[in-house]
Amino acid sequence: MKTKRLVSVLLIAVMIFSATACSGKSEVTDNKDTGSSNTAGSDAAAGGGSEKVTEIRFTEWDGGDTLAVYEEIAEKFNQSQSKIHVTVMNIPDEYDTKITTMVAGNDVPEVCMLDAASLMYTYAEESIVLNIQDFINKDANFDKSSMLDQFKYMLTSDYMAGYGIGSENITMFYNPSLFQKYGIEEPPASYKDAWDWDTFVNTAQQLTIDKEGRNALDPAFDPENIETYGVTISKWWAGYMPFLYSEGGDYLNENGTAIGYATEEGIDVLQKLADLTYKYHVALTPTSSETMPGASEALTTNKVAMTFDGQWINAALMSDGVDYNVAALPKMGAEAKTTMTFGGISIMNTDKADAAWEFVKYILSAGACEPLYKSGLWLPTNANEYTDEYIKSFITDKHPKNYYESIVVPMMDGTAERPVVATIKNFNKINDIISPALDLLWSGEMTAADAIATIEDQANAEVKGYLGK
């Protein structure tokens, strides 16, 4: 998933950017000839008749298998009827910049994947993004029960700026062979049985091995020459939030008036994560991270025993044939939690909005994105897909054996919390202040308390409360 910066429209307005996609292509190419009227000038495919076809564009930033599935969905939608034709416009780089340029140039795509923290809510406030709830309310054929609250991007209590597709959550990946080699019990699959933090740290110490074969519990252990690390951690908001939730905290305080990292719980969570590196020597320093290979190679070559990361890396691990498994994240507090991430799809304010809704409705329909479920990359966001029968139908023999219990169940029982970018006003400005301070924590230059103290007042000044109220 990506975090992108919103750039100034005044700056962008002077940029030269002309975008369009030809059917079936992923490049961004010139599309000025398509016009912006509600119907395109092309005849219907059947017999060259006079029926007009509404041309719409769907912009997204993914590549590879994800792009291929989007194009497959678009083609199936196009074949399902004759009045609307959708083209996938892939923008793999500088996505926000190019979308903003198109909007500034009055060349607004009809359907867009948008980052909530940068463009989606800003555009909704400016009426550039339309309220999906309005389309739902007037469409008698749409199954309202298929939409789940946790995937709704709500600007206010009755304004849905977008809806999530491709849900993913943060989980723990591990190398079973290392647990077997050192006679250590593998981590629990269920969040109900999750390790407490002390158990996790002790296990990570047993699995952190120096070049002489000594683990991190050995008094002679050499932290300057580590051969296998017990764990790698995810250093961004989605990596911290499961543990903050576990301790009963949140990104903001309960009243939505101050950052949650500055609370007792927030400081404790951040310091415990940093202690994995500088106190227990079981996690990588910034320097050692530079030479660590990707997840597939790191697990396969026994460079790492456990890693906290997003569900999306399943796709690469499964494709590479890695021997790995997944498990519940450990808990720092009374309850083990995780957090989800997902991209939001929005309908833009154009005179083709009704046609855009038809495509959005289609892409949100049950089974539309099934190839990405089978790949391990995504989980559904349609309520009708969350049945044991359907879920187990797309879990293949390539999925890790704990996939259902560790990754799917948390989405179904509320263990996975919705992403903070969907609920926090002014999120990017707040996070852009916090992140540099935390770099000083991860480098070992400051404690969590000192790092947060340097930006607490500045960050709190940007806090505007919660969305959807």
pTM score of the predicted model: 0.86
Give the pLDDT confidence of 63-114 residue by residue, as tens digits: 888 899 999 999 999 999 999 999 999 999 999 999 999 999 999 999 999 9
Give the pLDDT confidence of 354-383 residue by residue, as tens digits: 999 999 999 999 999 999 999 999 999 999
Assigned fold of 169-340+418-462 = D-Maltodextrin-Binding Protein; domain 2 (3.40.190)
Give the pLDDT confidence of 329-341 residue by residue, as tens digits: 999 999 999 999 9
The more confident residue out of 407 and 11 is: 407
Mean pLDDT, residues 266-280 taken together: 98
CB burial class (10 A; 0-12, 13-18, 19+) of residue 339?
buried
Residue 50 pLDDT class (50, 70, 90 cuts): low
- Percent of the chain exceeding pLDDT 90 equals 85
Mean pLDDT, residues 222-228 taken together: 97
The more confident residue out of 299 and 29 is: 299
CATH architecture of 9-167+342-395: 3-Layer(aba) Sandwich (3.40)
Same fold for the domain at 9-167+342-395 and the one at 169-340+418-462?
Answer: yes
Domain boundaries, the chain: 9-167+342-395, 169-340+418-462
Residue 60 pLDDT class (50, 70, 90 cuts): very high
Q: Which two tokens stand for residue 338?
A: 């995780």
